[in-house]
Chain A
Amino acid sequence: MPRFAIERGHPDVEPDEPFALIAREAGGFRIVTANQTAEMAGVRPGHLLTDAQALVPALITEEHAPARDRAAIRHLALRATRWSPWVAGETEEEGAAGLLIDVEGCAHLFGGEEPLLADIKETLNAQGLTARLALAETIGAAHARARFAAIPSKILEGAAARDGLAALPVAALRLPHDMVRVLRRLGLKRIGDLLPLKRADLTARFGAALPRRLDQMLGREPESLSPLLPPASYRIRTMFAEPLISEAQVTRAIDKAAKDLARLLVDQAKGTRQLELVLTRVDGDAVRLVIGTASPSAHAPHLARLLKQRLDRLADRFDPGFGIDALQLSSLRHEEMAGEQHALVDGEAASAAEEITVLLDRLGARMGFETVTRPQGEESHIPERAVVWAPVAAAAHAPNEAAAWAQAAWASLPRERPFLMLPSAEPAEVTAEVPEGPPRQFRWRRVTYRVAKAEGPERVAPEWWKGDGARTRDYYRLEDEEGRRFWLYRDGLFERETDAPRWYVHGLFA
């Protein structure tokens, strides 16, 4: 797509207005790429903005944002998964961008290679994108033909393919600019000029990159694309001859895909921890959602319920439009699963453990997986650092071991800990205290408490290696006359660390 950056959609610009993307370079702004209207008026990439404006006074410009181009090509690649699960997209120079689709084994779904190319071209054009499509045996050949062949979409085979490639300029080889310039100066203008040369000579003169690119193009060296979506060994893809329009149809399709995926997982004694659903629409738009599970699951109704729940939350962003014509459900992460858990695949969830898993997944799917957490122990004697809350879905699938470790660590604490901790310690105004001892009376949140009993101090030294400027804390358990119990600390050692130690309420006992 030679004009991707400009065609990917700039909502404020009408297609027939002259429009160009610019970037600041030495000597001022220069044109990165321009739309057809501007090009017809003579604006070319590399022109100085001032020159371009002299040619086309009405030229609309916008600063080139490569990051947005990359986001857009990623999104486009996601949509392209309707043609094949193996897709990659990347931006190139001068506002161009490329989409690489591995259609091996997929073309028959669209009635053959030529109808497939036609379908891709139509879909891209419908989105206002100029596209040059080529289909070839290797990534290198497809890449070269799409950019340099006179009629790229013509599918060539055998000797014709080889001849076609030989006629292309050396720039088609995906080589650095400098190398291309040197090759041209040496009179090696076309790929065909390189083919008779000895490999060793090429390596000696130009390094290993050149013969490698040749080999990749000719299929003598394998090359695979690094796909946008990670390859999954557990994946269900369904194409619908009749696009799905109603919610009920989509729901049924998800149920079926979940069932099929669960069967794949069960066959391998696996349960999924992370699922990905991609739905593509007839008009090329796509939605991708990823959900995690609290423990490995191959329980189809449960997985389907999670997906549907998540989809419901997207409802305002995603509507089937003219229909959904492809669905892809994959397990991105999976774990071994014991036999008895699989008994649940077709029946209803029976055991309490499974019920709990289902519940946690449902809570996470609605409120966000980061909100459903379990405590884990940390090796710190600073009270607020001794506990971290880890999402149930992300935690290692052995919550009991982690918890047992934490429990043992906490049981060895020198003194009792409060059951409630304030998110951050709150200052308390101590109105009577024994020097170096516990307070006799303090005021906190506008209530005065008279201390009847006190225990302490328990000294907690700062973690000096952290260098956070923390001071030594002396913790006291206090019980007031009414029986309310608090965990207070004095911050800083008197005269050694501070002249005026302050008191803080940190936690509460039952």
Chain B
Amino acid sequence: MDRRFRLALLEARLARLEGRASARTPRETAEEGLFERASLNEVLPAAYAETPASLGLALAALAGLDRPEDRAARPLLWFAGPGDDFGEPYPPGLARLGFAANRLIRVRVRREGDMLWGLEEALRARAELRVVAALARPLSLTASRRLLLAAEAGGGTAALLLPVHAAGATVAATRWQVRAAPSPDEGVGDACWRVRLLRRRRRGASAQGPAGETETLMEWDHASHRLRLVAALRDRAWAPRRRAG
């Protein structure tokens, strides 16, 4: 693992032991939330083996959009389809990521066409639904535009898990590259991720925010159902490591 991360982790662990917040806490990303409401958000695993962690982050970031009243009942539609290499949603574990069983609806689709149709319908429904789907291949620009229009019309928020190495144009509001990170806890603790913003499109502005400069260490606080920023590391030269991937 990266040396700087080891340092950041140690610092976080120390801060926890001393009962204080982490020393370096740039707030921008964390406070705005990783995802944008009523839009598309894409999550790209840094390697094939990072796919489950990436899906976990996508769910955590969706849960991060929840207002208190959403937590009780705002449904999460999980489109299970050909892109699911790592199995099916398991509600006893999902509850810990902020989605209780009564919020969960699984829609199983056989074909990509059905998945796109279903996503569009779900985003367009005027119920601010949360929608998650693992895509077998990246969306075409046309398809992602359709979905974006539907999300803007209905208020639905989509978290789309891209296949590894997916690249190319998108109209999604955000695209994040994700890999797992060791948790600062002593044992197997709460989930931790290293995330890097690849793209953020502000509503109404064509310019994109700064991307790719910062890799951020996020952790999931299951008590407050919030993503928390542990450390941010600026490093332009950061490159994904190929090991174990």
Binds A, one of B14-22, B138-146, B174-182, B201-209: B174-182
Q: With A359-B127, A410-B95 as given contacts, are A374 and B187 in contact (CB-CB < 8 Å)?
A: no
Whether B100 sits at the interface, judged by CB under 8 Å, is yes
Residues of chain A within 8 A (CB-CB) of B88 are: 420-421, 423
Whether B42 sits at the interface, judged by CB under 8 Å, is no
Enumerate 30 A-B pairs (CB-CB under 8 Å) in ascending A order: A353-B127, A355-B125, A355-B126, A356-B129, A359-B127, A360-B105, A362-B121, A363-B122, A366-B118, A367-B114, A371-B107, A373-B105, A374-B106, A375-B91, A386-B92, A389-B106, A399-B102, A407-B95, A407-B102, A410-B95, A419-B89, A419-B97, A420-B89, A421-B89, A421-B93, A423-B88, A478-B188, A479-B188, A509-B56, A509-B93
Residues of chain B within 8 A (CB-CB) of A386 are: 92
| Chain B proximity mask over A242-282: 1 for CB below 8 Å, otherwise 0 | 00000000000000000000000000000000000000000
Whether A411 sits at the interface, judged by CB under 8 Å, is yes
Nearest residue (CB) in A for B182 is A483
Q: Which 8 A-B pairs have the closest CB atoms?
A: A510-B56, A403-B102, A483-B180, A419-B93, A508-B52, A410-B92, A352-B127, A417-B93
Binds B, one of A119-127, A326-334, A445-453: A445-453
Residues of chain A within 8 A (CB-CB) of B52 are: 420, 484, 508-510
| Chain B proximity mask over A477-488: 1 for CB below 8 Å, otherwise 0 | 111111111000
From B73, B91, B100, B188, contact of A453 by CB (8 A):
B188
Q: How far is the CA of A375 from the CA of B104 in the complex (A)?
A: 7
Residues of chain B within 8 A (CB-CB) of A458 are: none
Whether A166 sits at the interface, judged by CB under 8 Å, is no
Q: With A363-B107, A507-B87 as given contacts, are A485 and B180 in contact (CB-CB < 8 Å)?
A: yes
Whether A96 sits at the interface, judged by CB under 8 Å, is no
Count chain B CB atoms within 10 A of each CB in A353, A360, A404, A509 and give the residue with the most. Answer: A509
Is B106 within 8 A of A419, CB to CB? Answer: no
Whether A186 sits at the interface, judged by CB under 8 Å, is no
Q: How far is the CA of A447 from the CA of B51 in the complex (A)?
A: 13
Whether B238 sits at the interface, judged by CB under 8 Å, is no
Q: How far is the CA of A418 from the CA of B125 in the complex (A)?
A: 30
Whether A455 sits at the interface, judged by CB under 8 Å, is yes
Is B244 within 8 A of A403, CB to CB? Answer: no
Is A479 within 8 A of B182, CB to CB? Answer: yes
Is A387 within 8 A of B102, CB to CB? Answer: no
Whether B168 sits at the interface, judged by CB under 8 Å, is no
Q: With A352-B127, A448-B244 as given contacts, are A375 and B106 in contact (CB-CB < 8 Å)?
A: yes
Is A447 within 8 A of B244, CB to CB? Answer: yes
CB distance from B100 to the nearest CB of A (A): 5
* Interface residues of A, Cβ cutoff 8 Å to B: 352-353, 355-356, 358-360, 362-363, 366-367, 371-375, 377, 383, 386-387, 389, 392, 399-400, 403-404, 406-407, 410-411, 413, 416-423, 447-449, 452-455, 477-485, 507-510
Q: With A355-B126, A419-B93, A483-B183 as given contacts, are A477 and B105 in contact (CB-CB < 8 Å)?
A: no
Whether B225 sits at the interface, judged by CB under 8 Å, is no
Q: How far is the CA of A447 from the CA of B45 in the complex (A)?
A: 16
Residues of chain A within 8 A (CB-CB) of B187 are: 453, 455
Count chain B CB atoms within 10 A of each CB in A416, A423, A454, A455 and give the residue with the most. Answer: A416
Whether B59 sits at the interface, judged by CB under 8 Å, is yes
Nearest residue (CB) in B for A359 is B125
CB distance from B133 to the nearest CB of A (A): 13
Whether B245 sits at the interface, judged by CB under 8 Å, is yes
Within 8 A of A (CB), among B199-232: 220
CB distance from A482 to the nearest CB of B (A): 6
Is B95 within 8 A of A484, CB to CB? Answer: no
Whether B96 sits at the interface, judged by CB under 8 Å, is yes
Q: With A375-B106, A400-B102, A483-B53 as given contacts, are A387 and B127 in contact (CB-CB < 8 Å)?
A: no
Q: How far is the CA of A360 from the CA of B106 in the complex (A)?
A: 10
Q: With A419-B96, A510-B220 as given contacts, are A403 and B109 in contact (CB-CB < 8 Å)?
A: no
Q: With A363-B121, A387-B90 as given contacts, are A410 and B101 in contact (CB-CB < 8 Å)?
A: yes
Residues of chain A within 8 A (CB-CB) of B101 are: 374-375, 377, 403, 406-407, 410
Residues of chain B within 8 A (CB-CB) of A366 are: 114, 117-118
Q: How far is the CA of A478 from the CA of B60 in the complex (A)?
A: 20
Q: How far is the CA of A479 from the CA of B9 in the complex (A)?
A: 15
From B60, B90, B108, B127, contact of A507 by CB (8 A):
B90
Residues of chain A within 8 A (CB-CB) of B244 are: 447-449, 480, 482
